[in-house]
């Protein structure tokens, strides 16, 4: 069985990825909490990406798949953002990712796969997204360069979702009216769910799909490429 390491996989998209992979792989979830993992056959590693060093944790010597899930949604007009907002978004989305990758890169097996997360807003340009778009754009650039440097040993890809119905997005989807408004913005007339994103992650981790690397893949209900309102 292959070893899959998820950073921050105890809820939302990460938990769904763990659920999909746990029956056929050794899944290690490094996260702050384990409550929502109780029904899954996974190995939990107590870990706070903002405070802890993964080097100090008991991770597999050989890793075949890696997913970095932590992120933020900080949507404000630019004039209401201060430098600390940008620094915090960059820290949790990008610098924490780089820190973990720096530590585990030597553990990645031949033919292994890494999956990171961006946002549709990087490629589309959306109001009130300056801080999060800057942080996620850093991930996209990092992933492409990393994929080039480590090919053909390992593959690195990025999923760029639109709005997904998770606890992270709860403020944006807090009532039926908001959900309807957000759904109408998408050509497919709904917001995403955790399976939409997890399905792509597990696809990219699968060694049968080993001719895909350095890609930014939109799973966004058509938001990034279609204008269905014209």
Domain boundaries, the chain: 2-165+193-217
pLDDT at 5: 98
At residue 230, the pLDDT reads 57
Top pLDDT among 174 and 146 is at: 146
Whose structure tokens read 């408004």?
A: 181
> Helix, strand, coil shares of the chain as percentages rounded to 5?
45, 20, 35
CA of residue 166 relative to chain centroid, distance: 13
128 is catalytic: yes
Instruction: Report residue 102 as tokens.
Output: 């720096």
* pLDDT tens digits, one per residue of 1-14: 999 999 998 999 99
222: helix, strand or coil? coil
Beta partners for residue 117, in sequence order: 159
**Greater model confidence, 228 or 219:** 219
Query: pLDDT per residue over 39-82, tens digit each?
Result: 999 999 999 999 999 999 999 999 999 999 999 988 999 999 99
86 backbone φψ class: left, alpha, beta (φ>0; ψ -120 to 50): alpha
CATH number of 2-165+193-217, picked from 3.40.50.720, 3.30.750.200, 3.40.50.300, 2.60.40.2230:
3.40.50.720
Rounded Cα–Cα distance for residues 102 and 156 (Å): 14
Mean pLDDT of 75-95: 97
Q: Which of 71, 210, 197, 198 minimizes the C-alpha distance to 138?
A: 71
E runs forming strands in 48-153 = 63-68, 108-117
Residue 220 clears pLDDT 90, i.e. is over it: yes
Q: Give the per-residue pLDDT at 176.
A: 80
Q: Quick one: DSSP state of residue 39? A: T
Question: Among residues 95, 128, 142, 150, which one is catalytic?
Answer: 128
What is the 3 state secondary structure string of 52-110?
CCHHHCCCCCCEEEEEECCCCCCCCCHHHCCHHHHHHHHHHHHHHHHHHHHHHHHHEEE
Q: What are phi and psi of 152, to 5 degrees?
A: -95, 10
The 10 Å CB-count burial string (b at 16+, else e) for 155-175 is bbbbbbbbbbbbebbeeebee
């Amino acid at each position: 069985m292959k070893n899959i390491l998820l950073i921050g996989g105890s809820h939302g998209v990460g938990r769904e990825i763990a659920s999909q992979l746990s029956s056929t792989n050794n899944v290690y979830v490094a996260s702050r909490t384990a409550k929502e993992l109780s029904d899954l056959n996974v190995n939990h590693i107590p870990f706070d990406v903002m405070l802890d060093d993964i080097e100090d944790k008991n991770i597999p010597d050989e890793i075949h798949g890696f997913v970095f899930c932590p992120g933020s949604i900080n949507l404000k007009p630019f004039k209401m953002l201060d430098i600390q907002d940008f620094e915090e978004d960059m820290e949790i989305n990008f610098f924490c990712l780089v820190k973990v990758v720096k530590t585990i890169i030597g553990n990645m097996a031949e033919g292994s796969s890494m999956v990171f997360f961006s946002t549709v807003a990087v490629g589309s340009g959306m109001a009130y997204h300056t801080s999060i778009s800057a942080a996620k754009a850093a991930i996209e650039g990092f992933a492409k360069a990393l994929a080039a440097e480590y090919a053909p040993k390992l593959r690195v890809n990025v999923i760029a979702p639109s709005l997904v119905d998770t606890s992270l997005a709860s403020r944006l989807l807090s009532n039926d009216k908001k959900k309807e408004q957000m759904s109408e913005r998408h050509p497919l007339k709904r917001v995403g769910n955790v399976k939409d994103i997890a399905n792509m992650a597990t696809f990219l981790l699968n060694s049968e799909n080993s001719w895909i690397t350095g890609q930014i893949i939109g799973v966004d209900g058509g938001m990034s490429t279609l204008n269905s309102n014209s």
